[in-house]
Structure 1
């Protein structure tokens, strides 16, 4: 396997260029197709969300509307906006498996770190809840720029039992159908040989557009390290990904940061930490 691979998928339809004026026209079209739904979920069905769904569906108003309606149906039942830091079970262990670091990549994109080889101590239901909680937080930084997340996954020590197939499939379904257009790049770091068999299986339920975002990177290859150096500040990037940061995740600091983000998501503070003027 070479140092950096695109997944072996059929090429997808080339993304069309859409001007800002045309984007707004598309957003307005989707709003009309959605009917009363934007009134029901104004926080979710914002222009930035609709733009992200349109971008993921190659600016097809019909396809974006269909996906948004499916997402609305799921959100009514799951209520992801209500998940808070306090709802995450076994925080210290689970955060080590998946967390949002306090640095961005060199293009200003939010980073999500995953370590599936670390054994979870919670149920699959709780793991999915944490995934959704992270995705909700990642949408906070997406703004008007779709594909604003870099997902870096450490596969050192990974085995077939590390990632149950059913949960992987459920996770990809949530990411692709309820949070489309969020992830820009997926970097798979040091997957072992046995991962190739797993990859062939999960390819069947990964959308072609998502497959094209997947990169395989290996720590024993100098060119891989150069790629990571181009993408990240190595003083901030974790050492297992080729960076110089060996401090690890500080659960106390991380807890405070996520609680702060919860308050912002709940409308209790603005992004500068001030109390919302809309509060009574």
Structure 2
């Protein structure tokens, strides 16, 4: 047998076994969580799988994480969604946009850190509602079969009046604890030196998997770096592409 063909077939067999083992764990996890919370039956296998993968296939840890998610959702999003009327200060700041998909089909969002003013935004609770509003909008627009999104975090113009450590940590907690395996990649662009002080305070709270998805981009390499992942036709105009940005509340 050709050596290359043997390696390919061997890899396929390993992948099939891995998928089979994963499916078995998904079924086990669904059975366990259904006994503790009957509302879990409303969630599909892909959702269960994201929590399972977030806990490195440890069923007990994944079950605990998912049950915490169900409890949080009932209290924080009792009506199933966040309305624009619940986050007026953040909508007014117009700092988060959506448009286009990367080469993997992942939805692209763009957030402008220099437009976030925590002292004029209704406190950390409203900001948490805004984060959930944004994540729900992004995930609801994902094409069939796609589970992840890409974010361009533009920090141009960021200063001390934009610094919001409590808010950043709250947003990070929501993303990691309640929307696991959703972030595909984050490009951090136009980073002023002053921002790094805030980044150093947040960085220790980022889990290892999320850290690998964050890419700081040099200004001189901005367009070329983004074009490796995003076709010019799907890249926002402000980065040399052809798409206009659309405010997330208008999507």
Pairwise TM-score range, normalised by the shorter structure: 0.7 to 0.9
Offset from partner CA, 1:63-121 (integer Å, 9 cap, x none): 21111111111111101623234544257534x311332x1111100112111111445
Q: Is the contact made by 1:99 and 1:134 (CA closer than 8 Å) also made in structure 2?
A: no
1:228-254 per-position Cα deviation (integer Å, ceiling 9, x unaligned): 112112234224334344x44368xx6
- CA contact under 8 A between 1:186 and 1:213: conserved in structure 2? yes
> How high is the TM-score relative to the length of structure 1?
0.73
Query: What TM-score, normalized by structure 2, do the two folds share?
Result: 0.81
Contact 2:87 2:129 in 1 (8 A): yes
**What is the match of residue 223 of structure 2?**
225
Structure 1 residue ranges without an equivalent (≥5): 1-15, 258-280
Equivalent residues in 2 for 1:31-70 (5 A)? 31-37=30-36, 39-43=38-42, 45-70=43-68
Considering only CA atoms, is the larger Rg found in Structure 1 or Structure 2?
2
Residues 108 and 150 in structure 2, CA contact (< 8 A), matched pair in contact too = yes
1:28 deviation in Å? 0.6
Per the alignment, do residues 163 and 143 of structure 1 end up closer, same or farther by CA in structure 2, a change over 3 Å counting? farther
Partner residue in 2 for 1:113: 110
Unaligned runs of 5+ in 2: 1-13
- Give the equivalent residue in structure 2 for 1:199: 199
Question: 8 Å contact 2:155–2:190 — kept in the other structure?
Answer: yes
- What is the distance in 2 between the residues matched to 1:230 and 1:77? 41
Q: 1:150 to 1:92 in 2, by over 3 A?
A: same
Specify which structure has the bigger relative contact order, considering alpha-carbon pairs within 8 angstroms and separated by 6 or more residues.
Answer: 1
Whether 2:123 is the aligned partner of 1:126: answer: no
Count of equivalent residues: 232
Question: Are the aligned partners of 1:142 and 1:182 in contact in 2 as well (CA < 8 Å)?
Answer: no
SS at match of 2:151: strand
Partners of 1:219 and 1:244 lie apart in 2 by: 19
